[in-house]
Structure 1
């Protein structure tokens, strides 16, 4: 199984709960390059790669 197929994706609610930040803070930090970028899953759907969020958390 490829690495991409094993990646887990987190929707906003899970990301916010995990990192303890508001929507505005997460989006602002993402735009400033201080938080992992969202991945577009569909026309109206985005998520974050779990591995990137966990790496970001461990670096803090």
Structure 2
């Protein structure tokens, strides 16, 4: 069967139609993504598995990826992103080897609202 490059109509409801081109073998070759790294990926994990391994919020992981502090995700399809398990495990080992200092706690005695009843203060 020969490839047809004419748009076909896809019904999105009873009154709306969307035109979409039919993909051919030539178009599929154009959609291939370049390799992220030179070494082959032995196992990739999706977001749910990543959440089980790394207990950080999605927004924190995204921000760390943007800063280059966390392994980058890569796309398997337009709607599926994965991480290389070996890179995530190496990241965890590097974090364990070099602990991150804890953030300083805020001085709660300087709060304007909900004042803290501390030692030596008169309780109202």
With the shorter chain as reference, the TM-score category is: 0.7 to 0.9
Scaled by the length of structure 1, what TM-score is found?
Answer: 0.86
| Structure-2 separation of matches of 1:27 and 1:43 | 18
Runs (4+) off by over 4 Å: none
Identify, as 1 or 2, the structure richer in helix. Answer: 1
1:21 matched residue in structure 2: 56
Would you say how many aligned residue pairs link Structure 1 and Structure 2? 57
Offset of residue 56 of structure 1: 0.2
1:33 matched residue in structure 2: 68
Per-residue Cα deviation, 1:9-52 (whole angstroms, up to 9, x for no partner): 11011111101111011011001100000011011111000000
Of the two structures, which has the highest relative contact order with CA contacts closer than 8 Å and spacing of 6 or more?
1
> Out of 30, 48, 59, which is 2:83 matched to?
48
5+ long unaligned stretches in structure 2: 1-38, 96-124
**Alignment root-mean-square deviation, CA:** 1.3
